[in-house]
Structure 1
Amino acid sequence: MSAGQDVAAALAAVPSIPCEAEGPVFREPWEAQAFAMTLALHQAGLFTWPEWAERLGAAIKRAQAGGDPDTGETYYRHWLAALEEIVVEKKAASAETLHARRDAWDRAARATPHGQPILLENDPLAGA
């Protein structure tokens, strides 16, 4: 399946994706990256689109039950939560590995001068 066909399949399986006529809309680069990671993991066979839609729907419902106003601004936060959950469930990575990587990126972001690319190598603990 081509990337274009996979995007179309994702849009069909998960119709709540914020879109314009040209395709998905992302407010921040990380949202596009989370979307792309999801497509790549689907293409690699880690999960089906129905599995993904179920997981994303559950993440959104949990957030709404916790008080999320569901204005669309937090959509990709739910997307990322669902992605992390399915990656752990399918044993593609452990929760500990995901948390360690998130912490490393956070440290790298804090250590990177404004306007410069954030690189994992900027993590002050890299190689420690």
Structure 2
Amino acid sequence: MALRSEAAVEATRALPGIPQDADGPVFREPWEAQAFAMALALHARGVFTWTEWAAALANEIKRAQTAGDPDSGETYYRHWLATLENLVSAKGVASSDIQHRYRDAWDHAADRTPHGSPIILKPEDFARPSSD
């Protein structure tokens, strides 16, 4: 899967490590393209510069390698997503707690959704489990 847009071209120029082919950035899974698109949208809204992003991504990759990441290229977008989450929190867009709350709600909604059906978040998906 490739993504070709003016914003994607700008990102690949600013961030030369992005996996790409002649058509632009490439992704092995849809979630990778979605994480990429979220970063493009936040950059377009001025949440961070590509220079900030590159430094934060390099720090995340370095941290992961120190923790034993084999740096095979298969984890690049996992680092991308972690960087996205960290910057969103650091910039005050959404705290880590809010991000975890939505992640848990999404997981809850996905668990009850039959395969192939759209996942729909409901208010009860956000209910915190009781600590019995």
Q: State the TM-score, normalized to the length of structure 1.
A: 0.89
Alignment check: 8 A CA contact 2:102 2:126 kept: no
* Structure 1 residue 63 displacement after superposition: 0.6
Q: Give yes or no for the alignment of 1:7 onto 2:11.
A: no
Alignment of 1:86-105 (within 5 A): 86-105=87-106
Q: 1:14 to 1:127 in 2, by over 3 A?
A: closer
Find runs of 4+ consecutive structure 1 residues off by over 3 angstroms.
Answer: none
* Structure 1 residue 50 displacement after superposition: 0.3
Segment of structure 1 superposing worse, 63-72 or 105-114: 105-114
Segment of structure 1 superposing worse, 67-76 or 6-15: 6-15
Equivalent residue number for residue 73 of structure 2: 72
Equivalent residue number for residue 125 of structure 2: 126
* Structure 1 residue 20 displacement after superposition: 1.4
Name the SS of the counterpart of 1:98 in structure 2.
Answer: helix
The separation in 1 between residues aligned to 2:11 and 2:72, in whole angstroms, is 21
Root mean square deviation of aligned Cα: 1.7
Aligned residues: 124
- Residues 57-89 of structure 1, C-alpha deviation per residue, up to 9 Å, x if partnerless? 111111111111111111111000000111111
Segment of structure 1 superposing worse, 93-102 or 105-114: 105-114
Equivalent residue number for residue 55 of structure 1: 56
Segment of structure 1 superposing worse, 109-118 or 49-58: 109-118
Q: State the TM-score, normalized to the length of structure 2.
A: 0.86
Residue type of the alignment partner of 1:73:
E
Q: Which runs of 5+ in 2 are unaligned?
A: 128-132
The separation in 1 between residues aligned to 2:25 and 2:16, in whole angstroms, is 10
